[in-house]
Amino acid sequence: MKIISYNVNGIRAALKKGFIEWLQQANPDVICIQETKAHKEQLDLTVFEDAGYPYHYWYSAKKKGYSSVAILSKTKPNHVEYGTGIDYMDFEGRNLRIDFDDISIMSLYLPSGTNDARLEFKFKYMDDFQNYITELKKEISNLIICGDYNICHQEIDIHNPKGLQKTSGFLPEERKWIGNFINNGFIDSFRYFNSEPHQYSWWSYRANARNNNKGWRLDYAMVSEPLKERLKRAYILPEAKHSDHCPIVVEIDR
């Protein structure tokens, strides 16, 4: 089973850059999308169906053109869970989950800490999300949480660790949180297979950062421990350029 996660930084803009053609070539079974910046009523949904994804689910922020997540699937899930039931989190459309017989897949868009107010919001979200997942795992043990976590875990995950240690996304408190999240029963699937440096999933649009590979690894496919033996591959697709992020992939045995 091939699962892709991709922060598209606006699905309508990505569609104009060849997203559908790329999706058909990449051919995942499931793709988790973040930052769609759209309500489904604003889209021609037949393009996804014609591409081979008849089952598509959209969970949008109340505010149009902001945040929002989606999941496209080739096969029909048993259940779709929109949001977390925590109002302030769901208001921004950041969590969507589909459940199959023996696996559940979530698309997550964790907030960024662009200013003091949003950083405080991010910390609250992180704490409440951890509590939510702790409870969820009691019900669903085989869980994959794909998405933009807006945090680099270790120095290897960022191009300038010394210079950016006081920047949101690489603050000690954020790094500690994602480390604890992993230690509470998840596998960072990319690092499980790959220990090489200079592997990133996001680059600023400024200063030619992508061409110079001055990036951050903000996107993860976190796989719950019970699925460890089913992990096959995990990798990043930096050649896909529909966004300031690039897709990440995890493959598991069915």
The number of residues in the chain equals 254
Active site residue 87: no
Report DSSP state, residue 161: T
Catalytic choice (148, 157, 188, 219) = 148
Which residues lie below 8 Å from residue 174, measured CB to CB, with a gap of 6+? 113, 122, 126, 151, 168
Q: How many CB atoms lie within 10 A of CB 161?
A: 13
Distance of alpha carbon 202 from alpha carbon 229, whole angstroms: 29
The torsion angles phi and psi of 64, rounded to 5 degrees, stand at -70, 145
Helices (H), the chain: 11-16, 19-26, 46-50, 87-90, 116-139, 172-183, 189-193
Distance of alpha carbon 147 from alpha carbon 130, whole angstroms: 15
What's the first-to-final CA gap in the chain, in angstroms? 6
Report DSSP state, residue 158: B
Distance of alpha carbon 67 from alpha carbon 59, whole angstroms: 10
Q: Which of 235, 234, 190, 239 is nearest to 210 (CA)?
A: 239
The residues that are catalytic are 148
